[in-house]
Amino acid sequence: LAKTTHPISMDSYEGQEVNITCSHNNIATNDYITWYQQFPSQGPRFIIQGYKTKVTNEVASLFIPADRKSSTLSLPRVSLSDTAVYYCLVGDDSNAGNMLTFGGGTRLMVKP
Amino acid sequence: GAGVSQTPSNKVTEKGKYVELRCDPISGHTALYWYRQSLGQGPEFLIYFQGTGAADDSGLPNDRFFAVRPEGSVSTLKIQRTERGDSAVYLCASSLMQGAYNEQFFGPGTRLTVL
């Protein structure tokens, strides 16, 4: 599985755009890039998944450069309720087997 | 609609006791996963069911841990002779399609404390 590296923690303020970058230098051809969000005392929640270029949904955007060795999760105009841990996962079912491998995540703290 | 539910939400037990943790997946989801999450860490895979059978139990730490899903819906994670190191949040997730990288829907977890 491709190893991912990312910031351990980030601080932001309400209304700002937050970008969390994840590095995955050994990403394989078939790998997808998936982000989950986890609020305190809750299970993780799927946010977004992409393979290349840009993906956007109602929650976030995911930017993936041509070499796919990194990806950036972009959260527009964050609010206090976006305080959570964000996990970047890279893999696909052919090499991941039947499991998601979470790292430590990036702890985002949004301040008023 | 109803999401994944887990009971109990909290369980306190004594070292050496037996515990059962229950997971009700989203109706119609054939894939079911159990994870364990320690404080400050990401979830760690324990076991995966496709239907009634345990398709992958490679994450179970030892033979004190066992899980069943007899009718392909509700699952129970069973821990025998609990140890203090078993204290963690146990998360259950389900997905409509087989394959870890299909969207998994997680329950709120059961916080297990072994005294």
pLDDT in tens, A40-66: 999 999 999 999 999 999 999 999 999
Which among A43, A85, A96 is the nearest to B109, CB-wise? Answer: A43
Question: What mean pLDDT is predicted for residues B49-73?
Answer: 92
Residues A35, A89 contacting (CB under 8 angstroms)? yes
Q: How confident is residue A80, by pLDDT bands cut at 50, 70 and 90?
A: very high
Write down the pLDDT at residue A35. 95
Nearest in space to B73 (alpha carbons), one of B41, B25, B105: B25
A38 pLDDT above the threshold of 70: yes
Encode burial over A93-112: b for 16+ CB neighbours within 10 A, e otherwise. Answer: beebbbbbbbbebbbbebee
A92 pLDDT above the threshold of 80: no
Helix (H, G, I), strand (E, B) or coil at A64: strand
DSSP H helix total and E strand total for chain B: 0, 11
B1 pLDDT above the threshold of 70: no
Instruction: Among A98, A102, A106, A107, pick the best mutation site for testing chain B contact (most B Cβ within 10 A).
Output: A98
Share of chain B above pLDDT 70, in %: 98
CB spacing of A42 vs B43 below 8 angstroms: no
Helix (H, G, I), strand (E, B) or coil at A97: coil
Write down the pLDDT at residue A95. 56
Average pLDDT value over all residues in chain A: 91
Question: What mean pLDDT is predicted for residues B91-112?
Answer: 90
